[in-house]
Amino acid sequence: MPKWIRSVFCSLAIAVSVAALSGMLAFAAQAAELPKATKDMLAVLKLDASILDGLDQELKVPASWIARAKKEQPVRYYGNFALDEWLIFYKPFQARYPFIKINHSRTSRVGRVEKSLIAFKQGRVFADIIAAIGPGIKPFREAGALVDLRDIPNFTLAHPKMRDKDGLWVGEKLKYWCMAYNTTLLKEKDLPKRWEDILTTKILHKGNIGISNRPHNWILPLWNTNGEAWTRNFIHGLFSTARPQLRKEGARALVVLTIAGEFHAAIPATPYRVAGYAKKGAPIGWHCPEPVPVTISTLVVIKGGRAPYAAKVFINWFLSKEGQLAQYVSTKASPVHKDLQDKGLVQYGDKIKGLKIALRTPESLIRVFPGVLKVWNDGWMKAGGPMAAKTIIKVKTVLTAVKRGGRRLAFKVKGGEHKAKVSRSRTEVLIGGKPGSRGKLKVGMACEIAYLGDGNEARKIACK
């Protein structure tokens, strides 16, 4: 073989070897040395670094993802981290992947989910990643808006019940929804062992429990586990026998009111919220009757985003032991990583150890919750609740009035007339099957309207 040919082959072999080595380095994401932020995180939790065993393997992604991610724009992540939480959570990722930028926006569910869906249907993509999508998974799925995440290596590290079989969502964190109680007003012996014990524990009756109108957090998981008949009887007994205070405040405010002695206990309450006040010396504890209601917050990636590879690298890290621990340190939300389920990463974990779990999945929010909500609302309203949880109503009707450039509508409903508000950003408007604007709505149009009841906002208006 001529020398010049041997020289070319030798050069090629060296080039291939260097390229392969570079690819391997990118693939492994240089996980061997823990970032300072991760070491600090372990110190805060008082955990040995061995809890991260296998992290090098978990952080491996295709080298081509890294190469493409370096060329992409910042990832737009619509989530619900508070700013101080995000700064803590983001540090380890930033240290490992300085070439990827994640722009986190904390928005309401309307802005995070509904506005993004309307934009996608109009050919625009507002977000690359959306967190806590809840029942919004259904219209996003139907619109073909979701990326299959099963090629993300760490997708399978989430517990099997905490990821979608079709790969369209994966859990990011868990929340446990039980009860907070005032430790000066209630003793442990007075606490119900099972949820139905509330109905026979008289010290909890006649306004001694404060309940917020959040049945999706605890009643739905109980329905999923204990069945419809049990839950119907429980709801009826709760309102008619226990007769709790029906409050308009949210879960956080109910914990504060419990500390103040407004009532003996509050439902539902998360352990991390209670633990924060308990550490400051407040007379507050957390208790969970069996089964333990658990909800999954989910992550999805939107098709057509500007940073698809950077988004996948980020989610792969998020699902790793390091990402899940970073989330726990920053928010106290429990991990979905199957190897971290029994590592004590739950506030008041000793209170639920060995208890049966009642799980709420995104699918149950879609299929089961409408029936749960109807039963709950009937009981809530009959008991004098300040505001019933809203159910979307769908009607086929004719527009009888269009005012303020389409901002206000009136239409026929069962011989009467209802009104609805139309938001430019939150209400989806279709005319003749194509995206339209509220300014195009006219009196006499035959429409199908999904709205939150007379006088409230419309979610979707489809007119011919």
In a domain, 435, yes or no: yes
The pLDDT of 101-111, averaged and rounded, is 88
For residue 1, tell me if it sits in a domain: no
Other beta carbons less than 10 A from residue 377's beta carbon: 17
Element (H, E) at 296: strand 292-301
Residue 427: what pLDDT? Answer: 87
Question: Is the pLDDT reported for residue 1 higher than 90?
Answer: no
Residue 460 CA, distance from chain mean position: 23
DSSP three-state, residue 236? helix
What is the structure's pLDDT at 26? 45
Do both 183 and 167 map to the same domain? Answer: no
Query: What mean pLDDT comes out for the span 213-229?
Result: 96
At residue 390, the pLDDT reads: 57
Would you say the C-alpha torsion 409, 411, 417, 421 has a positive or negative sign?
negative
Does residue 10 lie within any of the structural domains? Answer: no
The answer on 232 and 139 residing in a single domain is no
Confidence of residue 438 (pLDDT cuts 50, 70, 90): very high
Each residue's pLDDT tens digit, 255-268:
999 999 999 999 99
CB atoms within 10 A of CB 393: 17
- 402 - beta bridge partners? 409
Judgement on whether residues 165 and 87 belong to the same structural domain of the protein: yes
Q: Tell whether the model's pLDDT for residue 23 goes beyond 70.
A: no
376 and 256 share one domain = yes
Task: Report pLDDT for 87.
Answer: 96
**With bands split at pLDDT 50, 70 and 90, how would you rate the model's confidence at 250?**
confident
Let me know if residue 291 belongs to a domain.
no
- In sign, the C-alpha dihedral spanning 442, 446, 450, 452 is positive
168 and 236 fall within a common domain: no
The pLDDT score that the predictor gives to residue 22 is 40
Computed over every residue of the chain, the mean pLDDT equals 89
**Alpha-carbon distances of 125 from 75, 157, 265, 268, 464, rounded to whole Å:** 12, 28, 44, 35, 26
Write down the pLDDT at residue 222.
98
- Torsional sign, CA 188, 360, 279, 335: positive
Strands (DSSP E) contained in 11-131 are 75-79, 102-106, 129-131
165-194: pLDDT as tens digits: 999 999 999 999 999 999 999 999 999 999
360-400 pLDDT, tens digit per residue, is 988 898 899 989 999 998 899 889 887 545 567 889 999 99
Beta bridge partners of 294: 176, 359
Contact in structure between 131 and 299 (CB atoms under 8 Å)? yes
Distance (Å, whole) CA 447 – CA 460: 10
| Domain co-membership, 263 together with 195 | yes
Express each pLDDT in 140-162 by its tens digit: 999 999 999 999 999 999 988 89
The tens digit of pLDDT for each residue in 352-364 reads 989 999 999 888 9
- Dump pLDDT digits (tens) for 394-408: 899 999 999 999 999
Could you tell me if 231 and 334 lie in one domain?
Answer: no
What letter does residue 1 receive in the DSSP assignment? -
CATH code assigned at 418: 2.40.50.140
Chain centre distance of CA 193: 28
Summarize pLDDT for 331-346 with one digit per residue, the tens. Answer: 988 999 988 877 778 8
More confident residue, 323 or 118: 323
Q: What range does the domain containing 444 cover?
A: 393-463
pLDDT of residue 4 exceeding 60, the answer is: no
Grouping H, G, I as helix, E, B as strand and the rest as coil, residue 372 is helix
* CATH number of the domain that residue 218 is part of: 3.40.190.10
Q: Judge whether 436 lies within some domain.
A: yes
60-74: average pLDDT: 97
Residue 169 resides in a domain: yes
Q: Is residue 107 part of a domain?
A: yes
Report pLDDT for 362. 87
44, 153: one domain: yes
**CA–CA distance, 41 with 31 (Å, rounded to integer):** 16
pLDDT score recorded for residue 257 = 97
Contact 395, 448 (CB under 8 A): yes
Q: With contact defined as beta carbons under 8 Å apart, do 157 and 251 qualify?
A: no
Determine the 3-state secondary structure of 268 from DSSP: strand
451's enclosing H/E stretch is: strand 446-451
- Residue 279 falls within a domain, yes or no? no
Domain tally, the chain: 3
The predicted model gives 277-299 an average pLDDT of 96
Helix/strand/coil for 409:
strand
**pLDDT over threshold 50, residue 56:** yes
pLDDT at 245: 97
- 328 and 415 together in one domain: no
- At 14 the pLDDT is 36
Say if residue 9's pLDDT is above 80.
no
Same domain, 75 and 159: yes
**Same-domain pairing of 346 and 397:** no
My answer on whether 152 and 39 are in the same domain is yes
Res 391: pLDDT = 64
